[in-house]
Amino acid sequence: MRLTIILILFNLLTLNNSLSSELAKGLKKIDDYKIKGKKNFLSDFEALVSDNLANIVIEIPKNTNQKWEVSKIDGSLEHEFFMGTPRIINYGNYPVNYGMIPKTVLPINLGGDGDPLDAIVLGNPLPRGTVLKAKIIGLLKMTDTGEQDDKIVAVQEDSIYYKFNDVNEILENDDQLLIEISEWFESYKGNNIVSFINYSSQNEAINLIKFASKNYIRYGVRPR
């Protein structure tokens, strides 16, 4: 029994390490903490590519816990540091692919966090640095230390959820998935830091992307 548990834990750790190190094709590893693509992840891709499709850059693959993000300085992918140490999410692996939408920003002076729009992508794990056109189906509305920190909910084409056009359709058919996702994001930073508000419609999500795109043109993205 003990040997079985050890083997299971070993296999999970091996899978996590494998997913954490897997990169999308065409990327250049500058060092252990920085990755560059042929294009600037922040500024060389449009936000919306059609009425309900958006470009999304995968920063953190599903089932991994290394906290990477697109740099607001040069548009590369960087492992986030906290107190001089590469940041690892100790709460557990991300339950969904996590990333950002290029050429968007929620300015601090308008109640946002000053960052590009976050996005979660339902489906199988995707390599870090993947830029995919995903279908927008809704919005995960949250606050983080009082700042607006909404996350666009999208679906990749090979997902079983691609048949849905709005997040409310999933809530009607499989509410457990979205409940697990919202509970994870509400809990991973600790108690009373992130607050879940609700899930909102595809229309509200698309309008938020358009709003954030206009603000990117007006304000740009500034490092804190």
Question: Could you report the per-residue pLDDT of 100-157, keeping only the tens digit for each?
Answer: 999 999 888 887 888 999 999 999 999 999 999 999 999 999 999 888 899 999 999 9
What does the block give as tokens for 20? 């954490």
pLDDT band for 14, please (50, 70, 90 cuts): very low
Q: How many domains does the chain have?
A: 1
Instruction: Please report whether residue 32 resides in a domain.
Output: yes
> DSSP string of 137-204?
EEEEEEEETTEE--EEEEE-TTSTTTT-SSHHHHHHH-HHHHHHHHHHHHHTT-TTTEEEEEEE-HHH
Domain hosting 187: range is: 2-219
Closest CA to 21 of 90, 100, 79, 87: 79
Instruction: Please report whether residue 224 resides in a domain.
Output: no
pLDDT band for 216, please (50, 70, 90 cuts): very high
Residue 145: strand pairing partners: none
Please state the rounded mean pLDDT for residues 33-49.
97
Computed over every residue of the chain, the mean pLDDT equals 90
Question: Can you give the pLDDT at residue 222?
Answer: 77
Is the model's pLDDT at 42 over the cut of 90?
Answer: yes
Instruction: Please report whether residue 113 resides in a domain.
Output: yes
Question: Can you give the pLDDT at residue 19?
Answer: 52
**Which CATH number characterizes residue 54's domain?**
3.90.80.10
